[in-house]
Amino acid sequence: MPFIKVMIHFIWSTKNRAPIISKELKPLLLTHIKDNSIQKEIFIDCLNCVEDHIHILVSLGIEQTIAKTAMLIKGESSFWVNKQNIIKQKFEWQDDYIALSVSQSAIETVRKYINGQEEHHKKKAFTQEYDEFLEAHGFNKNSFS
């Protein structure tokens, strides 16, 4: 049996960064993502969201890819929210996402960062945070919407 530990920090926003993840929706959405991920054998270490985006720390399984994992979580969770009629408008995630590898030595720092999203975003808007992530990791901002 192979021993694999590939940790990925995913970040994506709602379509057009719409602030549609309400205080009522948030716990339902996070619980659903966790429960559905267990069924799909996606190993979520931690996750958290605020009104317009989500952070998820995932340990990839032996046959999982970054793209497939993001697609499964995003597609199923938006389908579920819309099916439940929890919010009045259509719920959609943006097409783009950020996926960053996380070393073993940084896992606890990333967990604290994800778990502290509410406090973090009292000081910094998601747009600023997103741009900083792109710049810090050498991505071309112009290729993202």
**Domains of the chain: which residue ranges?**
6-140
Is the CATH number of domain 6-140 3.30.70.1290? yes
Q: Please give the pLDDT value at position 91.
A: 96
**Predicted local confidence at residue 145, as pLDDT:** 46
Q: By C-alpha distance, which of 18, 66, 60 is closest to 42?
A: 60
H helices within 14-139, ranges in order? 25-39, 66-84, 107-115, 117-123, 126-136
Q: Which residues of the chain have pLDDT under 70?
A: 120, 124, 141-145
CA atoms within 13 A on the CB side of 125: 6
Identify the residue whose tokens are 């940790």.
7
Q: What is the pLDDT of residues 60-90, one digit of tens each?
A: 988 899 999 999 999 999 999 999 988 889 9
Residues pairing with 12 in the sheet: 54
> How confident is the model at residue 125, as a pLDDT?
74
CA distance 82 to 53: 17
Pairwise CA distance, residues 119 & 122, whole Å: 5
pTM of the model: 0.87
Please give the pLDDT value at position 141. Answer: 60
